[in-house]
Structure 1
Amino acid sequence: MTTNPSIAALTSRALIAVSGEDWRGFLQGLLTQDVETLAPGEARFGALLNPQGRLLFDLFVIGQGDGAWIDVEAAHREALIMRLTMYRLRAKVQITADETPVLAAFGSDPGAGWIVDPRLPALGWRGYGVAATPNAEEADYDVHRLALGVPGPADWGVEKTYPIEANFDLLNGIDFKKGCFIGQETTSRMKRRGQIKSRMLPIDFDGAPPASGSEVLNGERRAGEVLSGRDGRAIALVRLDRIVDGELTADGQLVRTERPDWIGDAANPPAAA
């Protein structure tokens, strides 16, 4: 029996159109993702970092015939436009808001016109201006994402988190071979040394989530911090070496960390120096 896909309008996301003869080189020098080889109709996940290598904006870059769309949090679109305009200098680039709607499909293949989510195929598909009638809420998509253990913008904030801590390296969000980008030195050094002490992992518990910002404790020892979540499931930034043994609690309730298959060995504690 064929099941219709769940389709949700992602009203929390918005688009920026980038065009002009220098658009590829302009974005290539800024973002964590390679855009030089981006094909029309292809989407890639990435970020714009600050010079210290912390996350400013998560984003998707979608190839167009004469430029690209940038899919970013709607609440941060104007801030990103201002940031890109500041970096533009003499580059021949046009940067404008675009009101094409952003959709997500999950559960089953929605057919032509949709783009497989570049982070993780199990997340489903993203649609830009696709003629489709939503039959689900964005909250349903958020539950789907959270079930897969994939963190989202509510988990990393602004200029607080390193992209590797947010698993961008495991979700195809960083191209380590593309050359320079803002924040590259710190990002590459963390990856090269392999001493990644903290990562975002899903945690399970009974009932309502612990308050955002609650400490994850291993006994009396701090093991991490709860970020965003829903009943029974949340994302936490945890110290990998402090969740191996012992009973974990957060806000007075028992929690259990999970290591999704897509994270693999990256959730193991770093070897002793």
Structure 2
Amino acid sequence: MKIDVVKREKDFLRVSGTEAESYLQGQLSQDIEGMSDGEARFTFLLQPSGKVDAWLRITRQAQNDYLLDVDKNYGELVLARLKRFLLRTDCRVEILNYFLYTEIGNSRNENDFVDCIAIPYSWFGFEFTDYIFKSDSFSEGFTLID
């Protein structure tokens, strides 16, 4: 069965290192301590004054390894903002060239699509699944729609 997806423009960043979780905990509005691998949460990136710099989603890939996705053209802003307070902290922040495709619904089998990160979520009662690929040539299990 092929899954119909739409391509969405996003910027991706990876935050990793032994102090990545504690560093991000102090920069984001969302509590990220205790997230499990594969879990995703929406959050704000905050200024020290509490003002919002960016709206993003954080996905825990492994212990002290997080994937952030933000609206297109905000990646550099988020990168600069996160690096601004990285003083004597074992935490690396880098931009990734990943690609995002979204399915309306959640028809994925847990064993399918090992070449991507799949993030199911709901928004105002509608089910979606985001598929994040490391390259723009995605799996044969998908059909791109306009």
Whether these two folds match at TM > 0.5 is yes
Whole-angstrom CA distance in 2 between matches of 1:89 and 1:118: 37
1:125 partner amino acid: T
What is aligned with 1:238?
none
Work out which of the residue numbers 35, 38, 47 in structure 2 matches 1:38. 35
Select which of 123, 128, 137 maps to 1:124. 128
Counterpart of 1:92 in 2: which secondary structure? Answer: coil
Alpha-carbon separation, structure 2, partners of 1:14 and 1:88: 21
What does residue range 112-151 of structure 1 map to in structure 2 within 5 Å?
112=110, 114-117=118-121, 119=123, 122-129=126-133, 131=139, 132-137=141-146
Report the Cα distance in structure 1 between the residues aligned to 2:4 and 2:35, rounded to whole angstroms.
28
- Map of 2:16 onto structure 1: 19
Using the size of structure 2 for normalisation, the TM-score is 0.79
Q: TM-score, normalised by structure 1?
A: 0.44
Deviation readout 1:25-54 (Å, 9 max, x if unpaired): 000111011221122111111111234444
1:45 and 1:118 in contact (8 A); partners too: no
Q: Which residue of 2 aligns with 1:87?
A: 85
Q: Show structure 1 runs of 5+ residues with no match.
A: 138-273
Aligned to 1:6: 4
Give the one of 95, 98, 112 matched to 1:97. 95
8 Å CA contact 1:44–1:118 kept in 2: the answer is no
Amino acid at match of 2:81: R
Alpha-carbon distance change, 51 to 111 in structure 1, aligned in 2, over 3 angstroms: same
Distance 1:120 1:92, change over 3 A: farther
- Structure 1, residues 74-109: CA drift from partner, whole Å, max 9, x if none? 201011100000021111001111112122111452
Q: Say which structure is richer in helix.
A: 1
- Indicate the SS of the match to 2:142: coil
- Write the letter of the residue equivalent to 2:42: F
1:62–1:70 CA contact under 8 A, matched in 2? yes
Figure out how many residues of one structure are paired with residues of the other and give that number.
134
Compute the displacement of 1:118 (Å): 5.8
Unaligned runs of 5+ in 2: none
TM-aligned CA distance change 1:100 to 1:6, over 3 Å: same
Q: Is the contact between residue 4 and residue 108 of structure 1 (CA under 8 Å) also seen in structure 2?
A: no
Q: What percent of counterpart residues are identical? A: 22
Larger Rg computed on CA atoms:
1
Residue number among 34, 44, 47 corresponding to 1:47 in the alignment: 44
- Distance in 2 (CA, whole Å) between partners of 1:50 and 1:118 is 28
SS of the aligned residue for 1:38 comes to coil
